[in-house]
Amino acid sequence: MPELSQMIGASRNAVVNALTPWREQDWVRPRAPLCAQNSYPACPSDRLDG
């Protein structure tokens, strides 16, 4: 059985991949700044406050 974190990651990847064509058409925009490491909303490692 997959770990919960793996399932969450897979789900998140699926959503990002599904929305990519919409973002390319400028039909949707992320509300959070993009993570420096990938196209997800801001990663904890990108936070300036620690």
5 confidence band (pLDDT: 50, 70, 90): confident
User: Is the pLDDT at 49 greater than 50, yes or no?
Assistant: yes
- C-beta atoms surrounding 9 within 10 Å: 13
Residue 21: per-residue pLDDT: 92
Q: What is the pTM (predicted TM-score) of this model?
A: 0.49
Nearest to 45 by CA among 34, 20, 23: 34
For 9-45, the pLDDT digits (tens) are 889 889 889 999 998 898 887 776 556 555 555 555 5
Residue 50: per-residue pLDDT: 44
